[in-house]
């Protein structure tokens, strides 16, 4: 396949420090303390930047139990590690997960604006509503908010954050030593927001970055999540790498974009994939089976339970289909993910054992030789239903290194992917338009009306 596309593929690196396999920390080449090993995480960031990736992507949650994935038990807060990586990287985007359910919009907006300025315009925010039941108990509540309420809160939260990021117009900070003028206060604006959930005055005490404001990612696949993404997001993290599901998802998102007066080119769609590279098909399969061997059924059931409010799956027969009624268990937790897993189990007739192992040891269609993986990526990219992929290494750093060193050069040779960074900001990498400050835009409209 050598077709030269008019569009360019975009790539993110999922910064799960141990890997996508729930027992990846046991791999011989992965540091046992990978999630809190700064040198290891810097190595992953350096590999992704060497591969000219668009961004690093960090998932997060602030709730654990003894049944949590082992390497979730101790891991860096995203803002902390991304701030460190802002100093040791030069080009790659820095996207972190921060909740809209258990934080204040002013604080989050300030932290992200600070990271954006610190990194020269490379910050991104994966805005999540938080789905783990116990999170409420870590924040003075008995349980998490009901699903639709979480998304109403998130909608207002994002409105507030975007408003605060417009507190200062681009040229507000004069800093003229001769006249003594530090800022042009005609270009400073208070938000004075009073809504259903938040009351925020502003202004934000951080100027705009070279990309205007941080890039907004959204990861929800439910109807409410897709509406939120269509209204606010610059990019969406999708679980649909399958051709049919990706097409359905893209069509739905683009229809919703239009309903908010947005064009199809205003949002980027990124499924996540777990490539496993081998010199031959047999070697790639062996590598996959190697990592599967670390996962026993008890660990797999615990991992599956995370998406169903830590429901106890050990009470059911392992080699029979899933019981009825599980839809209700997951409805206020990871709604779209639990629905997807149940759909797969029903459609393929999977037993509980088969589903748990499928979820905890993801394989997909990206296991094989470098050329086969590049072919599959190209074929799906050229459908126009996705804009790129978030690459999750099955174990780290091996998974990411193999992809960067063996698959990326093929994509570059075919003209699919950049050979050098052409832009300085994450917004530039993603080919998204600069967001004109709302007050600047209003002033320009008024000046045009007068003329």
Task: Count the residues in the chain.
Answer: 451
Q: 3 lies in a domain? A: no
Q: What was the pLDDT predicted at 157?
A: 97
Q: 5 lies in a domain? A: no
Q: 328 lies in a domain? A: yes
Q: Are 338 and 353 members of one domain?
A: yes
Q: Are 203 and 119 members of one domain?
A: yes
Name the band, by pLDDT with cuts 50, 70 and 90, for residue 6: low
Q: Per DSSP, which regions of 177-240 are E strands?
A: 193-194, 199-200, 215-218, 235-238
Q: Are 303 and 402 members of one domain?
A: no
Q: Are 165 and 228 members of one domain?
A: yes
* Residue 273, φ and ψ in degrees, nearest 5: -135, 160
Neighbour count for residue 138 (Cβ, 10 Å): 13
Neighbour count for residue 388 (Cβ, 10 Å): 24
**pTM reported for the whole predicted model:** 0.90
* Residue 388, φ and ψ in degrees, nearest 5: 165, -165
Coil, strand or helix at 228: helix
Name the band, by pLDDT with cuts 50, 70 and 90, for residue 246: confident
- Of 360, 376, 404, the one marking the end of a domain is 360
Average of per-residue pLDDT across 195-213: 97
Q: Per DSSP, which regions of 219-374 are E strands?
A: 235-238, 268-273, 276-277, 367-368
Q: Are 388 and 338 members of one domain?
A: no
pLDDT in tens, 277-292: 999 999 999 998 888 8
- Of 327, 343, 360, the one marking the end of a domain is 360
Q: What was the pLDDT predicted at 82?
A: 98
Q: Are 354 and 371 members of one domain?
A: no
CA 345 – CA 321 distance, rounded (Å): 8
Q: What was the pLDDT predicted at 323?
A: 83
Name the band, by pLDDT with cuts 50, 70 and 90, for residue 331: low
pLDDT of 3 strictly over 60: no
Which range is least confidently modeled, 53-67, 159-173, 195-209, 351-365? 351-365
Average of per-residue pLDDT across 53-61: 94
* Residue 242's CATH number: 3.20.20.30
pLDDT of 241 strictly over 80: no
pLDDT of 252 strictly over 60: yes
CA 252 – CA 237 distance, rounded (Å): 14
Of 334 and 325, more confident: 325
Which range is least confidently modeled, 126-140, 166-180, 337-351? 126-140
Q: Are 186 and 324 members of one domain?
A: no
Calculate ∠ Cα 97-236-267, nearest 5°.
130
Q: 218 lies in a domain? A: yes
Q: What was the pLDDT predicted at 2?
A: 44
CA 205 – CA 402 distance, rounded (Å): 43
Q: 108 lies in a domain? A: yes
Name the band, by pLDDT with cuts 50, 70 and 90, for residue 135: confident
CA 314 – CA 132 distance, rounded (Å): 19
pLDDT of 449 strictly over 80: no
Residue with tokens 């100027």: 207
- Of 345, 360, 375, the one marking the end of a domain is 360
Q: 4 lies in a domain? A: no
CA 207 – CA 424 distance, rounded (Å): 18
Q: 291 lies in a domain? A: no
Q: Which residues lie across from 176 on neighbouring strands?
A: 181
Largest CA distance in the chain: 79
Neighbour count for residue 186 (Cβ, 10 Å): 10
Q: What was the pLDDT predicted at 375?
A: 97
Q: 84 lies in a domain? A: yes
Radius of gyration of the chain (CA): 22
Name the band, by pLDDT with cuts 50, 70 and 90, for residue 105: very high
Cβ–Cβ < 8 Å for 394, 17 = no
Q: What was the pLDDT predicted at 332?
A: 55
Q: Provide the sign of the torsion angle of the four alpha carbons 305, 363, 283, 405, taken in this order.
A: negative
Domain count, the chain: 2
Q: Are 160 and 252 members of one domain?
A: yes
Which range is least confidently modeled, 133-142, 295-304, 328-337, 432-441? 328-337
Instruction: Measure Cα distances from 388 to 11, 426, 429 in Å.
Output: 5, 14, 12
Q: Are 145 and 236 members of one domain?
A: yes
Name the band, by pLDDT with cuts 50, 70 and 90, for residue 1: very low
Of 56 and 350, more confident: 56
Which helix or strand (DSSP H or E) is residue 378 part of? Answer: helix 370-381
DSSP annotation of 66: T
pLDDT of 133 strictly over 80: no
pLDDT of 368 strictly over 60: yes
Q: Are 261 and 156 members of one domain?
A: yes
pLDDT in tens, 23-32: 889 999 999 9
Instruction: Measure Cα distances from 281 to 19, 165, 369, 372 in Å.
Output: 21, 49, 6, 9
Q: What was the pLDDT predicted at 236?
A: 95
Calculate ∠ Cα 268-150-352, nearest 5°.
80
Q: Are 371 and 317 members of one domain?
A: no
pLDDT over 90, % of the chain: 65
Q: Are 438 and 305 members of one domain?
A: no
Q: What was the pLDDT predicted at 362?
A: 73
pLDDT in tens, 376-390: 999 999 999 999 999
pLDDT over 70, % of the chain: 95
Domain coverage including residue 166 = 10-281+363-450
């Amino acid at each position: 396949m050598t077709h030269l596309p008019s569009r360019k593929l975009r790539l993110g690196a999922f910064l799960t420090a141990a890997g996508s396999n729930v027992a990846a920390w046991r791999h011989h080449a992965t540091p046992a303390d990978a999630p809190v090993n700064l040198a290891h995480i810097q190595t992953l960031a350096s590999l992704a930047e060497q591969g000219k990736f668009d961004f690093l992507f960090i998932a997060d949650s602030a709730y654990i139990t003894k049944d949590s994935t082992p390497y979730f038990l101790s891991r860096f807060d995203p803002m902390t590690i991304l701030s460190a990586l802002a100093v040791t990287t030069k080009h790659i985007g820095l996207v972190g997960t921060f909740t809209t359910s258990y934080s204040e919009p002013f604080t989050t907006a300030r932290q992200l604006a600070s990271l954006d300025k610190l990194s020269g315009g490379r910050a991104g925010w994966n805005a999540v509503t938080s789905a783990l039941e116990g999170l409420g108990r870590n924040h003075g509540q008995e349980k998490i908010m009901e699903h639709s309420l979480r998304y109403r809160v998130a909608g207002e939260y994002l409105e507030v954050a975007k408003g605060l990021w417009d507190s200062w117009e681009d040229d507000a900070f004069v800093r003229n030593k001769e006249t003594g003028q530090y800022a042009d206060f005609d270009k400073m604006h208070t938000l004075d927001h009073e809504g259903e959930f938040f009351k925020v005055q502003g202004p934000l005490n951080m100027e705009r970055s070279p990309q205007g404001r941080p890039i907004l990612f959204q990861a929800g696949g439910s109807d409410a999540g897709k509406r939120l993404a269509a209204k606010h997001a610059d990019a969406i993290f999708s679980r649909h790498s399958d051709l049919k599901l990706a097409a359905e998802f893209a069509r739905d998102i683009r229809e919703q974009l239009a309903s908010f007066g947005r064009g199809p080119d205003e949002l980027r769609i990124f499924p996540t994939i777990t490539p496993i590279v081998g010199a031959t098909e047999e070697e790639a399969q062996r590598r996959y089976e190697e990592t599967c061997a670390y996962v026993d059924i008890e660990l797999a059931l615990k991992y599956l339970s995370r998406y169903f409010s830590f429901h106890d799956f050990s009470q059911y027969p392992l080699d029979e289909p899933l019981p009825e009624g599980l839809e209700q268990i997951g409805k206020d937790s990871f709604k779209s993910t639990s629905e997807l897993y149940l759909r797969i189990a029903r459609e393929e007739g999977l037993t509980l054992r088969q589903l748990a192992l499928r979820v905890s040891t993801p394989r997909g269609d990206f296991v094989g030789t470098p050329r086969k993986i590049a072919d599959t990526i190209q074929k799906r990219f050229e459908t126009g239903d996705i804009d790129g992929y978030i690459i999750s290494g099955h174990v780290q750093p091996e998974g990411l290194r193999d992809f960067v060193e063996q698959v990326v050069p093929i994509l570059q040779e075919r003209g699919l992917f950049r050979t050098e960074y052409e832009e300085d900001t994450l917004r530039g990498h993603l080919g998204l338009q600069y967001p004109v400050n709302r007050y600047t835009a209003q002033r320009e409209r008024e000046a045009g009306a007068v003329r």
